[in-house]
Amino acid sequence: MLSEDALRRKEMLTSLFKEGKIKPMKFKELAGFVGVPKNERSEFNNILDSLINDGLISVDANGYYGLSSARTIEGTFCATERGFGFVTPADEVSDDIFIPERYTLNAMQGDIVMIQLTSEGFTSGDKKKRAEGKVIKIIEHGIKRIVGVVKNSKSFSFVIPDNQKLNFDIYVRKENSMDALSGMKVVCEIINYGDDDKSPEGVITEIIGHVNDPGVDILSIVKDLDIPYEFPEEVMEQVNTSIPSEISDSDREARTDIRDLLTVTIDGEDAKDLDDAITLSKEGGIYHLGVHIADVSNYVTEGSPLDTEAINRGTSCYLADRVIPMLPHKLSNGICSLNQGEDRLALSCFMDIDESGKIIGHSIEETVVNVNERMSYTDVYAILTRSDEETLKKYESLIPFFDLMLELSRKIRALREERGSIDFDLAESQLVIDEKGKIIDIKPHERNDATKLIEDFMLAANETVAETFYWMELPFVYRTHEEPDIEKIETLREFVKNFGYNFHIGERIYGTDLQKLLKMTEGKEDEALIRKLTLRSMKQARYSVECTGHFGLCARYYCHFTSPIRRYPDLQIHRIIKEYLHGTINGRISHYDEILPGIAASSSRTERRAEEAERETEKMKKAEYMRRFIGESFTGVISGITKWGVYVELPNTIEGMIRFSDIVDDYFETDENCYKAFSKRTGKVYKLGQKIDIIVTGADKMTRTIDFLPANNIRS
């Protein structure tokens, strides 16, 4: 906030600039011109920043302040390996703005910058041009520390960043190197950001280990993204002194006791944090489905060290060889995990569902549960398909129970699909890592009826809880997914015409439009590509205090209720639900109105951070895996085309690039939408979705890239 004197000075400057009485000047010259004493120049800088934010003035690359002739926008800078960048406006709704390399002002990845638009974006017919701009001021550097590899010389060191978007090395004086040896992975704090003539300078604050040490590769990604890895002392002290190993008699009081109901959990074989369980029965044509979720909020109280750390982490992070949990193991694998044969506290959503799959009644209650069977997806699938005699014999008494689950699951799913819910069902991969952290195999991670029925039941509970609290008009955290931009869907529609598909779109996009497209591709050779491109056309889901619906699920009301062990928004809304059940919510509404927008924004950010860690870990391990296949041939599908190369995806989900610069004596051009690439020498055409034989020519674990070259002619 500007002081009254500063506001008066701002008004005076506004008049002087508008009247043309101030020519472009640098900061000191301008301060002298309007008579600002040296001890007030910090506030004067704030006044100028305020005028820039208002769009009245701008500052050029040489530091001259003058009347702005173009719109200015504040946003976050996203760098690329090729020098140029993009700025995401602060509203996170407007389209990204392209920043040519000569106009980046040496901005780094994650910097908060002020840009001046040099050209407005537009859409005309089939053509769409992105807005362009130039960085006129770096407001705040987004990266304060980096992770990288040390390279020593006699009197100093350099740290080469792991992040390929940082196209500079960090200079480190010998006294600031912690005596780190060449080849060590380190954390380096930036103390000077440098300029065109001088490299950024840093201080090494932590040695992670040598690049070849087991586990250092993944830990480096964790450190680079600043994901909290170890729990602070005050958190572990709270865990050790306040968190019980078993529930007490007082915990059971005033709760619905459902320990006599047949209760199962269904998870992966290796899962340790079991936060959801299912009960199910049917009578008189009505299914009685119970979704029982670990009552984490009973132990993680608002404002406690555990709660503060959970907000900071936001979500558990599942990497190739480890899990970084949101909560310490005593909770996530212990008292909050719905382990077989142990009494546990839960928050339960009981739903009555008719023969059509429609929920006709429900209640939300605090309960005590005791799981009868800890089931795996593999065993449940074997039961549902009658494919393994040993499993069928072991769980003979439960076969009717799981058959009933499948029956209800299919009805719930059919009703959801009828309203327009989109199931992308993209192929995922499971990385097999040995005890030394080396990748030894990549397996497909398939969805089947066992995984889908749990998804169906969790979605039903999430929708039911969201709708209930929406109509109560209480503060809440929703999971929202906005309608995609019509321009992106129009581009998709034009592209799929090349594959013989056509779908109608009107003034608005509906899930049924895209659902029909995906149905048309089922079982076809181009199914995976079109599903992936359709997903890329979607906006990113996020957390919000506004209930604006979920486009992908075609759900008017949706929240995350079912995983409070590993997601903070679920834990947060559990507290709200329990305060409602206890009759204390009315005195807390203003409190939640104040904190929930921040919780939603923070949770969205930490979710994206965890997703990036998972994505980068997978890319790195896949590059490591493909090093053993250099020189070998494979057949893949062209999955992406850029100005500098063609991406090819292999059947095992590994993706590499044919770089145009590696194809000797040839020059390539791409069409406007990067759907095709043309060889200028041979006339050969590379098209999205086309099969191609490739040879693996390189795989770099450090840069997380895999290089291919065409083996033969493109397959027709």
Residue spans of the domains in the chain: they are: 4-140, 145-213, 233-479+554-617, 483-538, 630-710
Average pLDDT for 67-78: 79
- Alpha-carbon distance of 6 to 18, in angstroms, equals 18
DSSP string, 114-152: EEEEEE--EEETTEEE--EEEEEEEEE-S-SEEEEEEEE
Burial class (CB in 10 A: 0-12, 13-18, 19+), 296: buried
Rg of the chain on CA atoms, in Å: 29
- Alpha-carbon distance of 354 to 285, in angstroms, equals 7
The pLDDT value recorded for residue 1 is 60
Q: Is the distance from CB of 92 to CB of 126 less than 8 angstroms?
A: no
Higher pLDDT, 11 or 345: 345
- Continuous segment of H or E residues that includes residue 479: strand 478-480
Prediction pTM value = 0.84
Average pLDDT for 72-98: 82
Question: Which CATH architecture best describes the domain 630-710?
Answer: Beta Barrel (2.40)
- Continuous segment of H or E residues that includes residue 44: helix 41-53
| H-state helical runs in 498-588 | 511-521, 527-536, 568-582
Q: Is the distance from CB of 432 to CB of 442 less than 8 angstroms?
A: yes
Average pLDDT for 292-316: 97
The pLDDT value recorded for residue 715 is 47
Average pLDDT for 449-466: 96
Q: Is the pLDDT of residue 712 over 90?
A: no
Q: Which residue has the tokens 């992670």?
A: 208
3-state percent helix, strand, coil for the chain, nearest multiple of 5: 35, 30, 35
Average pLDDT for 301-319: 96
Q: Is the distance from CB of 543 to CB of 479 less than 8 angstroms?
A: yes
Average pLDDT for 257-263: 97
**For 53, left (φ over 0), alpha (ψ -120 to 50), or beta?**
alpha
Per residue in 153-184, pLDDT tens?
A: 988 999 999 988 887 899 999 999 999 999 99
Higher pLDDT, 205 or 20: 205
Fold of 145-213: OB fold (Dihydrolipoamide Acetyltransferase, E2P) (2.40.50)
SS3 of 338-405: CCECCEEEEEEEEEEECCCCCEEEEEEEEEEEEECEEEEHHHHHHHHHCCCHHHHHHCHHHHHHHHHH
CA angle in degrees (0–180, nearest 5) for 418-486-419? 10
The correct CATH number of 4-140 out of 1.10.1740.10, 2.40.50.140, 2.60.40.10, 3.30.460.80 is 2.40.50.140
The pLDDT value recorded for residue 260 is 96
Mean model confidence pLDDT for the chain: 90
Number of Cβ within a 10 Å radius of residue 712:
11
Q: Is the pLDDT of residue 426 over 90?
A: no
- Alpha-carbon distance of 150 to 188, in angstroms, equals 10
Paired tokens of 230: 């170890």
- Looking at residue 112, the DSSP 8-state letter turns out to be E
Average pLDDT for 347-358: 97
Q: Is the pLDDT of residue 404 over 70?
A: yes
Per residue in 370-384, pLDDT tens?
A: 999 999 999 999 999
Paired tokens of 602: 């923070």
Q: Could you tell me the CA-to-CA distances from 25 to 11, 57, 60, 65, 326 in Å, in that order? A: 18, 12, 10, 5, 51
Average pLDDT for 636-664: 89
Q: Is the pLDDT of residue 291 over 80?
A: yes
Q: Is the pLDDT of residue 289 over 90?
A: yes
SS3 of 158-185: EEEECCCCCCCCEEEEHHHCCCCCCCEE
Question: How many Å separate Cα 253 from the centre of its chain?
Answer: 40
The pLDDT value recorded for residue 36 is 83
Residue 229 pairs in a beta bridge with none
- Alpha-carbon distance of 53 to 521, in angstroms, equals 48
Of the ranges 132-136, 215-219, 324-328, 633-637, which one carries the lowest mean pLDDT score?
132-136
Q: At what angle do helices 568-582 and 305-313 cross, to 10 degrees?
A: 130
Burial class (CB in 10 A: 0-12, 13-18, 19+), 711: middle
Q: Which residue has the tokens 């109280």?
A: 301
- Alpha-carbon distance of 220 to 222, in angstroms, equals 5
- Alpha-carbon distance of 35 to 43, in angstroms, equals 13
Paired tokens of 529: 């590509």
The pLDDT value recorded for residue 93 is 60
Q: Is the distance from CB of 338 to CB of 277 less than 8 angstroms?
A: yes
Query: To the nearest whole percent, how much of the chain has pLDDT over 90?
Result: 58
- Looking at residue 332, the DSSP 8-state letter turns out to be I
- Alpha-carbon distance of 172 to 158, in angstroms, equals 6
Number of Cβ within a 10 Å radius of residue 449:
18
- Alpha-carbon distance of 566 to 293, in angstroms, equals 12
| H-state helical runs in 525-588 | 527-536, 568-582
Per residue in 587-618, pLDDT tens?
A: 999 999 999 999 999 999 999 999 999 999 99
* 716 pLDDT tier (thresholds 50, 70, 90): very low
Per residue in 533-584, pLDDT tens?
A: 889 889 999 999 999 999 999 999 999 999 999 999 999 999 999 999 999 9
In b/e form, how buried is each residue of 522-560, taking b as 16+ CB within 10 angstroms?
A: eeeebebbbbbbbeebbeebbbbbebebbbbbbbebbbb
In b/e form, how buried is each residue of 211-244, taking b as 16+ CB within 10 angstroms?
A: beeeebbbbbbbbbbebbeebeeebbebbeeebe
- Alpha-carbon distance of 86 to 44, in angstroms, equals 30
Paired tokens of 256: 């619905």
* 247 pLDDT tier (thresholds 50, 70, 90): very high
- Looking at residue 4, the DSSP 8-state letter turns out to be H
Give the type of residue at 260: D
Average pLDDT for 630-644: 91
Q: Is the pLDDT of residue 486 over 90?
A: no
- Alpha-carbon distance of 310 to 244, in angstroms, equals 19
Q: Is the pLDDT of residue 212 over 70?
A: yes
